Structure formats: structure tokens, C-alpha cells
Amino acid sequence: MFDHQNLSRRLVLGGAVATLGVSFLARRALAQSVDEVKKRGKVIIGIQGDNPPWGYVDASGVQSGFDADVGKLFGAYLGVPAEFMPLAVVNRIPALTTGRCDVLFATMAMLPERAKAVQFSKPYVANVISLVAAKTAAIKTNADMKNFVIGVPRASSQDGQVTKNAPESTTIRRFDDDAATIQALLSGQVDAIGGNMFYVQRLDEAKPGVFENKLEFSRLYNGACTRLGDKDMNTTVNAFIDQIIANGDLAKPYRKWMHMEPPVFPTSVEGVPFTVS
């Protein structure tokens, strides 16, 4: 006779053991120090894989972009190669908090709600979040957005800014990543999209002269992210950022990818601590 009670007991016990195993592995990953990263012989960096020129995998399969260049500098600072883990927007924080990567250089805007989940470093790059649409689209104020279908990458800064600024009746469609959001505009699935400072440049590659920035929502700063409470890695990343600003190394990817000099970065961002307390 089949023993349902015994099976249920085994399933409960098995689940408990599995949970303990996962927790043990997570603790091991979360406890990893900078010295352990060096001994391993590589630093695993979470980065965007589809958002040029911030971070993208090029035609030859090589991780490229602004954040990739900064990540390589960080590996050199540690004395180990940088191994990149391309991530979609929604997977960035989970990849870090579960220990799949050691640090994020992944276009992470420094937002108070994110600072509850990850530890930000000092800022190392600036970004502008805006609404992008065809030049013919009649969008001059936030109120005008209600007349258009707007696309955003899910869980991105653009998602937050469009949701905050658009009227409640606005139709907002959320896509898995930047590339899918841009394609939605090009294909006519949406009328406008929440974008960063490079979206128009990317759209021009497909349809030159058609699109423009309509509304500017915010000017944000991006920081590297480490796990909450990881003072060792946070201190190391901040020292690295100080060094590349001081010695001019940060200016090189800025000139290469943004065609400008780095700005003067703020000494504080409201609601976002730069160091582990």
C-alpha cells in the first residue's frame, strides 16, 4: 500500500535539507573576500550584455563597452583577469546577491530603493534618463505621455522614471532588456520609450534622423555594486575609483565611448551611502 504520510514526511525533510544546502552555499559565496578573489585567479564582474555602449557582447562574442573597459581596469587593479557575466537588467542584483558574481559594473543608477539591496560605491559615471520618440510625436510635457504607448526595460531606471512621471492612464509596456525596448519602438509596438543618454544614437543606426529626446526625467550617477555588509570589497572598489579618477585612467573610456571628459562627481547622493557603515 502506498504510504502518503511517509512520502510527505520525506518531501518535507528533503526540502529542509535542500534549503540548508542552498543556504550553506549562499553563505560561502557571500563570505568571499578580496583575497579569496585574488587566490581564485579572476574577478567575476556582472555587466549588461545588450546595452551599447555601456555593456554589450560584440559580433565576435567579446564583452565590450564603457563598463567593460572599467571592469578590465578593476581586474588589473586587483592583479587578476576580469571575467564578465552578461546580465539582463532584471538579473543584475540577483546575480550579485546570490554570489554568482563578485561585483557589478552594470549601468547601475544610484537609487535609494536599490541601496536597500546592494552596496553602492562612489559614482564613476553619469547618465541621463529621458523619453525618446519620433521627432513628429507631439510630446512636450509629462501630461502628453497619456496619449502614447510607452516602452521601458523592466526594473530599470527608465521604468522607474516613466512610471513616476507619466499620468496614471498612460499605457506602459515593459520589456526584458534595452535591446528589446529599442526594437519595440523601431517596429511600432510602442510610440515612445524611456531611454538613457545613448538611445537616440542607437536608434539612428537603424533609422537615421527619425528619433529625438523629448523629455528629460533625471540626471543620475552610476556606481559599482557589492553585497550589503561586504566592507572589504566596497573599500577596495572605492579605492580603485579614487585611483582611476586621480591618474586619468577613467578619462580614457570616457573619451572612447562618450566623447567627453568625466564630470566632477558628487560627494554624496541622497539616500545612497557609498561605504559600509
Q: How confident is the model at residue 161 (pLDDT cuts 50, 70, 90)?
A: very high
Average pLDDT over residues 148-155: 97
pLDDT in tens, 209-234: 999 999 999 989 999 999 999 999 99
The answer, yes or no, to whether residue 14 has pLDDT greater than 90, is no
- The DSSP secondary structure of 13-50, one letter per residue, reads HHHHHHHHHHHHHHHHHHT--HHHHHHHT-EEEEEESE
Instruction: Give residues with Cβ within 8 angstroms of 70, minimum separation 6.
Output: 105, 124, 125, 244, 250, 253
Instruction: Give residues with Cβ within 8 angstroms of 210, minimum separation 6.
Output: 134, 135, 203, 204
Average pLDDT over residues 74-91: 97
Q: Which domains are present in the chain?
A: 19-126+222-258 (3.40.190.10), 128-219 (3.40.190.10)
Return d(Cα 105, Cα 8) in angstroms, integer.
45
Q: How many CB atoms sit inside 10 A of residue 264's CB?
A: 8
Question: In this structure, which amino acid lies at residue 242?
Answer: D
CA 174 to chain CA mean position, Å = 16
Return d(Cα 149, Cα 190) in angstroms, integer.
5
Q: Supply the pTM of this predicted model.
A: 0.80
Q: How confident is the model at residue 277 (pLDDT cuts 50, 70, 90)?
A: confident
